[in-house]
Amino acid sequence: MSGAGDDAPVLRVEDLSVEFRVRGAWWPAVRGLSFVVARNETLALVGESGCGKSITALSVMGLVPRPQGRIGGGRILFEGRDVAAMPEAELERLRGDRMAMIFQEPMTSLNPVLSVGFQVSEALRVHRGIDAAAADAEALRLLEEVKIPSARRRFADYPHQFSGGMRQRVMIAMAIALKPALLLADEPTTALDVTIQAQVLGLLADLKSVQGMSMLFITHNLGVVAAIADRVAVMYAGEIVEVAPVARIFSAPVHPYTEALFRAIPRIDRAEQSLDAIGGQVPPIDRMPQGCRFAPRCPARRASCEASAQALVEVAPGHEVRCGVRAPAGAMAA
Amino acid sequence: MLWYVAKRLLAAMPTLVAVLTVVFVIVRIIPGDPALTVLGDQATPQALAALREKLGIDKPLLAQYLDFISAALTGDLGRSLVSGRPVINEVVAVLPHTLDLTISSLVLGTVLGVPLGVWAALRRNRLADYVIRIVSLVGLSFPVFVSGIFLLMVFALHYRLFPVIGTANLSDLGDRTWKLVLPTITLGLVMVAYITRVTRSAMLQVLSEDYVRTARAKGVPARLVIRRHALRNALIPVVTVVGLYLGINIGNSVLTEIVFNRPGLGKVIVTALNQRDYAMLQGLMVIYCFLIVVTNLLTDLAYGLIDPRVKQA
């Protein structure tokens, strides 16, 4: 479809900036963002609330809320085509077909006045133009695939008759209906109980291996990251501060923010501990520091940090860090 | 759905009996002796007693109540103290005129108001939205007797397109429709304004819901997202307002009826008030409440059609 080879990444984001209007001026909520998602790969996007994770996913889908938000610059190459420059009609053909998204809130993400079966079959009808009976049959198969108990009986039920975990399964069934190349999952388990969380994560991992899709998985839960991700990108205040394979980011985090994130997880193997919350807050969008955006909260801060913006520097193969102290430019580890 | 309809119908019955009870109590509370009101100060005690017996108000209160309820439930609402004709006949004679006007103005309001409201919501804070909001505010602020007289002056007197006198011959459909046009526009414009505003705010709220984003994420084309996913949810508050105004308009069309010289329920009520025709008023109150109960029933049924959650409850 794209003409690109099999080893070409499904998604390549280049220097993306997404801006929001605050008091009459446009401010970047995400800036200079670049990353790739390879075929069959799961990239986890990690960071605090408000760091731009969800906005990144919405940009890929072409769903940045307008008129208060807009893509300010950069390219989003999905299967070789720039989504950011695409007209809405063309985006509509991609959405739900080649790329799909699961949202955080299963309780409000389904339409209360349409039956669950219809909502699952809708994408099939819209994109494939197949008749209602065939779409319903396929939707039923999908509901069974995501393990909705007695799916046939519940096909015509409405969302309010489903629990949160079941609704998220319905959302997943909707998203995978057309076997997308890329699945964007925006904190799909955050609103669920821990046991249901594990089930949903297991389901996503199964589907991914069966269907061979790539996933951009957004979460602030590092336990979830360890369970599902191949690579991890840590975001802070609209920028990626560290990218590394999942094993490496857990064993050898470099950026002070990544370190701080890990220190903020309670450990079951230690008897006594004080949780280290990260002091301070993410700076507001219209008052970003000039230099390193984490500098005001950073324990390793030096005077030079606040002077100029930091660049992403490769410290090991596949491991990049945006920190002038820990990873100064031109100092790649052997 | 059938079960839901049956439940709603059953639930309407106690409401109706409660309404009848309240009407009964109100009429008994009103100071003064109805017999004295009818016959005047000069009446002999024998004449008064005879009339009281005829009206049934010499019986104990409970017996009067049971008489009233059982008569009302069989459609007997008593007779006018002035004309002596049964209340129900007076009402049936004018009800078609009232329903014509109420329903046609409501249809006009919905057919214009819903699309305008959706359009305004989609063009939020842009020119179309401002124009629609201002025009609907003007429409709401214009009293019916001003806009009605204005329409009469322009389209009945100056251009002579429509008749000045609105009493229609009910058996002549052409005549009935022709005489309905100006009153419908008069009353309908107010409805358009109301429905536009309600639809706009409901649409704005619904458009920011997560499920609208989900529908877009599925690749559903924008037009279908608006119609199938957003509008259907936005119609729930619109139905509430339409139902409310359907009820209110049955009684409130009186101004329009006077301006266009149409017969109607509103005019009958005003006449009965002016003549202090208590028996007539009691019957009219019952009819009016009955119509409101029916309207609410229809509104509930419409909810059931739109929102599956309602059928459950």
Q: Which residues contact A5 (CB under 8 A, 6 or more apart)?
A: none
Residues of A in contact with B222 (CB under 8 A): 88, 92
One-letter amino acid at B99 equals L
Residues of B in contact with A97 (CB under 8 A): 219
The model's confidence at residue A334, banded by pLDDT at 50, 70 and 90, is: very low
**Degrees to nearest 5, angle at CA A106 with A102 and A111:** 95
Q: Do A111 and B218 touch (CB under 8 A)?
A: no
User: How large is the average pLDDT for residues B47-76?
Assistant: 84
Continuous H helices in A11-115: 53-61, 88-94
Quote the longest CA-to-CA distance of chain B.
Answer: 85
Q: Do B211 and A100 touch (CB under 8 A)?
A: no
Q: Do A97 and B219 touch (CB under 8 A)?
A: yes
Encode pLDDT of B264-275 as tens digits.
888 888 888 888
Q: Do B216 and A101 touch (CB under 8 A)?
A: no
ipTM: 0.88
Residue B192 has pLDDT above 70, yes or no: yes
Residues of B in contact with A106 (CB under 8 A): none
Phi and psi dihedrals of B245, rounded to 5? -75, -25
Give B80 or A154, the one with higher predicted confidence.
A154
Highest mean pLDDT pick, A263-267, B3-7, B187-191: B187-191
The model's confidence at residue A42, banded by pLDDT at 50, 70 and 90, is: very high
Nearest to A11 by CA among A51, A46, A39, A44: A39
In this complex, which of A92, A97, A158 lies closest to B308 when CB atoms are compared?
Answer: A158
- pLDDT at residue B185, as a whole number: 92
Size of interface A-B (CB pairs under 8 A): 79
Encode pLDDT of A75-111 as tens digits.
999 999 999 999 999 999 999 999 999 998 888 999 9
Please state, rounded to an integer, the average pLDDT across all residues of chain A: 89
User: How large is the average pLDDT for residues A107-118?
Assistant: 94
Backbone angle region of A224, left / alpha / beta, with phi > 0 → left and psi within -120 to 50 → alpha: alpha
- pLDDT at residue A271, as a whole number: 66
Nearest to B202 by CA among B111, B121, B126: B121
**Degrees to nearest 5, angle at CA A182 with A181 and A188:** 140
Name the pairing type of β-strands A239-245 and A214-219.
Answer: unpaired
- pLDDT at residue A331, as a whole number: 52
d(CA A150, CA B313): 24
Residue A161 has pLDDT above 90, yes or no: yes
CB B199 within 8 A of CB B132: no
Residue A64 has pLDDT above 90, yes or no: yes
Share of chain B above pLDDT 70, in %: 98
The model's confidence at residue A2, banded by pLDDT at 50, 70 and 90, is: very low
Task: Provide the β-strand partners of residue A183.
Answer: A100, A215
d(CA B309, nearest CA chain A) in Å: 7
CB B233 within 8 A of CB A111: yes
Of the residues A88, A111, A116, A125, the best mutation for testing chain B's interface (the one with the most B CB atoms within 10 Å of its CB) is A111
- pLDDT at residue A310, as a whole number: 85
- pLDDT at residue A274, as a whole number: 64
d(CA A148, CA A166): 7
Q: Do A111 and B229 touch (CB under 8 A)?
A: yes
DSSP state of B30: S
User: How large is the average pLDDT for residues A116-145?
Assistant: 94
User: How large is the average pLDDT for residues B87-111?
Assistant: 91
- Taking CA–CA distances from A95, the nearest residue in chain B reads B219
Write down the pTM of the prediction: 0.83
In this complex, which of B211, B216, B309 lies closest to A110 when CB atoms are compared?
Answer: B211
The three-class DSSP label of residue A4 is coil
d(CA B308, CA B313): 9
CB A239 within 8 A of CB A251: no
Residues of A in contact with B211 (CB under 8 A): 108-112
In this complex, which of A92, A114, A115 lies closest to B219 when CB atoms are compared?
Answer: A92
A302, A306, A309, A311: CA torsion to nearest 10: 10
Residue B136 has pLDDT above 80, yes or no: yes
CB atoms < 10 A from the CB of A153, how many? 9
- Taking CA–CA distances from A90, the nearest residue in chain B reads B219
Cis peptide before A65 (omega within 30 of 0): no
The model's confidence at residue A1, banded by pLDDT at 50, 70 and 90, is: very low
Q: Do B233 and A127 touch (CB under 8 A)?
A: no
Residues of A in contact with B225 (CB under 8 A): none
Task: Name the helix (H) or strand (E) containing A321.
Answer: strand A319-321
User: How large is the average pLDDT for residues B244-249?
Assistant: 80
Give A276 or A66, the one with higher predicted confidence.
A66
Interface of B with A (CB under 8 A): 209-211, 213-222, 224, 228-229, 232-233, 306-309, 312
Encode pLDDT of A193-204 as tens digits.
888 888 889 988
Burial (CB count within 10 angstroms: exposed 0-12, middle 13-18, buried 19+), residue A40: middle
